[in-house]
Amino acid sequence: MDIIELHDIRKQYGDRIVFQDVNLTIPVGSFVVVRGESGAGKSTLLNLISGLEIPNSGKIVVDGKDISELAKIERTDFYRHEVGIIFQGSYLQPQFTLMENITLPGVFAGMPEAERNAKAQQLAQMLGITESLSHLPSEVSGGQAERACIARALLMDPKIILADEPTSNLDEENAIIVLKILNAIRQQMGITIIVASHSRDVSRFATQILFVKNKLVNSEVVELALAASEGEVNDNQGAI
């Protein structure tokens, strides 16, 4: 089953056409890597999938729902539960602790405090950042901050995680840890992962690679054997 379908998508900003006639399907449980030069449209593609941007024409179907048919308020609610986003440059609110950052989506969604705190504790344990929960983002390492971003993206039990350059601020060791965590989330929780990245390391986890170029998106399905072999992850820092 496909969790995401793009049909005849056109997207432009003013006169600048970023996408034209883009057709694409992503099967559920994929680890998708989006590649392409700076300015090619990787972030725009993620923003279209996450509903942050609306296409000028064409149809986007997420988990069987035609997004254009949802009224604005329904759409916000739909995406809140369906998609977890890890933004380019790992945006945490600097004045809030990691705990407060991680639980923020639950505040917006009206999740009771006890429930969102319990969920955040559980995710922090899984990701190995329990000790950092009471710290501000400025007081933790880049790798810990990135894992807090992953926890925040997982808080609402999404079916899809979108990550825009999640490893760009990390050294190689921490980048691999983050990628392994994302892959473990895919394998153990069945969540579809979509990562925009320039990094070579990320490709070894891919089940599908999207090449963004010349206003088009070309898809290549990768042999599953390789991606699957990275499965049994039990890294130092976290329980995952």
Ligand X SMILES: Nc1ncnc2c1ncn2[C@@H]1O[C@H](COP(=O)(O)OP(=O)(O)OP(=O)(O)O)[C@@H](O)[C@H]1O
Quick one: DSSP state of residue 131?
G
Distance, C-alpha 208 to centroid of its chain = 15
Smallest separation (angstroms) from ligand X to the CB of 168: 9
Query: Of 90 and 187, which has the nearer Cβ to Mg ion?
Result: 90
CB of 40 to Mg ion, least distance (A): 9
- Cβ burial, residue 39 (10 Å; 0-12/13-18/19+): exposed
Closest C-alpha among 123, 131, 192, 121 to residue 158: 192
* Cβ pair 160, 194 in contact under 8 A: yes
Comparing CB distances to ligand X, the nearer of 51 and 105 is 51
What's the token pair of residue 23? Answer: 């057709």
Distances (CA, A) of 23 to 83, 111, 188, 206, 217: 20, 36, 29, 20, 8
81 vs 213 by CB, closer to Mg ion: 213
Cβ 44 to ligand X shortest distance, Å: 3
Identity of the residue, 26 or 99, whose beta carbon is nearer to ligand X in the bound complex: 26
Looking at the DSSP bridge assignments, the partners of residue 213 are 216
Binding mask 28-47 for ligand X (x = CB under 6 A): --------x-xxxxxxx---
C-beta of 51 vs 128, nearer to ligand X = 51
Residue 36: which of ligand X, Mg ion, none does it interact with, CB under 5 to 8 A by kind? ligand X
Residue count at the site for ligand X (CB under 6 A)? 11
Give the residues lining the site for Mg ion (CB under 5 A).
Answer: 42-43
CB of 46 to Mg ion, least distance (A): 8
Dihedral (CA of 43, 216, 212, 162) sign: positive
Residue 38 interface partner, choices Mg ion, ligand X, none, CB cut-off 5-8 Å depending on type: ligand X
Distance CA 23, CA 49 (A): 13
Question: Rounded to the nearest whole angstrom, what is the least distance from the CB of residue 82 to ligand X in the complex?
Answer: 21
For the bound state, the minimum distance from the C-beta of residue 215 to ligand X, rounded and expressed in Å, comes to 10
Is residue 213 involved in binding ligand X (CB under 6 A)?
no
Amino acid at 5: E
Among 3, 6, 9, 18, binds ligand X (CB under 6 A): 18
Q: Please name which of 140, 43, 138 lies closest in space to residue 93, comparing C-alpha atoms.
A: 138
Out of ligand X, Mg ion, none, what residue 18 binds, judged by CB under 5 to 8 A for its kind, is ligand X
Residues of this chain that interact with ligand X (CB under 6 A) are 13, 16, 18, 36, 38-44
